[in-house]
Amino acid sequence: MTTKIAIFGVGLIGGSLALCFKGKPGITVVGHAHRPASADKYISRGVVDQATLSIEEAALDADFIFLCVPVGNLDEYLTKLSALPLKKGCIITDVGSTKASIALAAEKLALEDVYFIGGHPMAGSERSGVEAATPLLFENAYYVLTPPPGLPEEVYDSLVHLLSYTRAQIVKVDPVEHDRIVGAISHLPHVIAVALVNQVCDYNKDNPLYRQLAAGGFRDITRIASSDPIIWRDILLNNRDVMLQMLSDWNNGISAFVNLLKQEDGEGIVQAFAKANDFRSELPERRKGMIASTFDLYIDVPDHPGIIGKITTILGENHINLSNIQIIESREDVPGIMRLSFRQESDMERAKELLNNTDYSISL
């Protein structure tokens, strides 16, 4: 008996899920596309078994339907699916980073003989699109499921069993609680990063040195400010009530720092940093999260022809993948700083060991 999985939104997340399922015994993966060129790409890249431009054809007789579309389009797709003659017992799930609103929408639709289970794989990448899809994306990541009250246990277990192919760790969470937690650890940091970059951008209007000197650490801690504006518009508006409360709490925290500075309270500043240091040291280091990790090496290199090629050749010959290369500064009288970025910590460590055997000065 064949299990049919339909995926709407075959991008980074949807494509990676497809690659986790494709080729497994008794499973057929069908991808929905909006354009013939996209359907052809899904097939040519080997991401899905079949591709179609028809919502009806994709959903027909599907045992599982994954909605991997933007948060702002989830209600629309769920409504369209609810009007189709879906297979009895079909499980619909999504991958959105907000869960309360889609759970409420599914409840209002009162799907007959069909089950909805909210989902959120907490893994990401700096790249996007089906070209970035990989079956390793979810490995060692948390995959949150938000089943509705009264859901038959065997239905929930069926989805958990399928998701075992992702090699993610499944966590069951209430949808409202999920939105509060994710609002704090992902949505709020994105807002703070955007506000900080825009503040410096405004300062830069009067003094271009702000942009010139905002390299290294500043660029690293504000990396998430480069996220897709449309996607984040939908996420923040969807999680509006949570964000308003958390931004209010953030303002209170900033006001506390203002008072510490006004009162020249050095001990208070030390305590604030120590508290943050203690909590941050307890955070898991090797668990994938919503904000993609990057692992960087900084190398002092002389301004000599072919130096970049020499270093990349060393890494390539040892099958070490780079995600990015940046020359931070290179002048005739000053050694250049080359930043090598890796997606895997293991790649970074291997590169460090290899390059340490050369004459280059390496730092993390």
CATH number for the domain that contains residue 326: 3.30.2130.10
CATH number at residue 226: 1.10.3660.10
In the chain, what are the helix, strand and coil shares in percent, each to the nearest 5?
Answer: 50, 20, 30
Name the 3-class secondary structure at 251: helix
Q: Is residue 286 part of a domain?
A: no
Whether 99 is covered by a domain: the verdict is yes
Predicted pLDDT at 275 = 96
Residue 140: its pLDDT value, please?
Answer: 84
The neighbouring-strand residues paired with 14 are none
Residue 303 makes CB contacts below 8 A (sequence gap 6+) with 330, 331, 332, 335, 336
Tell me, yes or no, whether 58 and 84 share the same domain: yes
Q: What is the pLDDT of residue 252?
A: 97
Please list, in sequence order, all residues whose beta carbon lies within 8 angstroms of the beta carbon of residue 324, skipping any fewer than 6 positions away.
294, 339, 340, 341
> How many Cβ atoms sit within 10 Å of the Cβ of residue 339?
18
Same domain, 156 and 206: no
Residue 287 lies in a domain: no
Query: CA–CA separation, 30 vs 62, rounded Å?
Result: 9
Helices (H) and strands (E) in the chain, counts: 15, 12
Last residue of a domain, one of 155, 173, 191: 173
Do residues 206 and 125 both lie within one domain? no
- Domains in the chain: how many in total? 3
Whether 43 and 99 share a structural domain: yes
* pLDDT tens readout for residues 144-202: 999 999 999 999 999 999 999 999 999 999 999 999 999 999 999 999 999 999 999 99
Output the six-digit token pair for 126: 């700096």
Q: What is the pLDDT along the chain (364 residues), one digit of tens a residue?
A: 899 999 999 999 999 999 999 999 999 999 999 999 999 999 999 999 999 999 999 999 999 999 999 999 999 999 999 999 999 999 999 999 999 999 999 999 988 899 999 999 998 766 678 888 899 889 888 999 999 999 999 999 999 999 999 999 999 999 999 999 999 999 999 999 999 999 999 999 999 999 888 876 788 888 888 888 998 999 999 999 999 999 999 999 999 999 999 999 999 999 999 999 999 888 876 455 544 556 777 776 666 667 777 788 888 888 888 877 766 554 444 446 677 877 777 788 888 888 876 666 665 5
| pLDDT at 302 (0 to 100) | 62
Q: Distance of alpha carbon 34 from its chain centroid, rounded?
A: 23
- Which is nearest to 230 in space by CA: 67, 72, 34? 72
Task: Tell me what pLDDT residue 28 has.
Answer: 97
* Position 28 in a domain: yes
Q: What is the pLDDT of residues 22-47, one digit of tens each?
A: 999 999 999 999 999 999 999 999 99
The whole-number pLDDT of residue 316 equals 83
Residues 145, 183, single domain; the answer is no
Residue 45 sits in the same domain as residue 95:
yes
- Domain membership of residue 289 (yes or no) is no
φ, ψ of residue 141 in degrees (nearest 5): -105, 160
- Alpha carbon 235 to chain centroid distance? 13
Q: Are residues 48 and 156 in the same domain?
A: yes
CA dist 348 and 90 (Å) reads: 43
If asked whether residues 23 and 166 sit together in one domain, one would say yes
CA distances from 165 to 23, 132, 162 (A): 11, 19, 6
Query: Could you tell me if residue 15 is inside a domain?
Result: yes
Claim to verify: residue 105 and residue 169 sit in the same structural domain: yes
The residue out of 258, 281, 304 marking a domain boundary is 281
Same domain, 356 and 264: no
CA-based nearest residue to 364, from 302, 294, 307: 294
Residue 196 belongs to what domain range? 178-281
Q: What is the pLDDT of residue 334?
A: 43
How high is the pLDDT of residue 308?
A: 76
Do 83 and 165 sit in the same domain of this protein?
yes
Strands, E assignment, 9-110: 27-32, 50-52, 64-67, 91-94
Q: Which of 173, 189, 221 corresponds to the end of one domain?
A: 173
Residue 290 lies in a domain: no
Based on the fold, state whether residues 24 and 86 are members of the same structural domain: yes
Does any domain span residue 341? yes
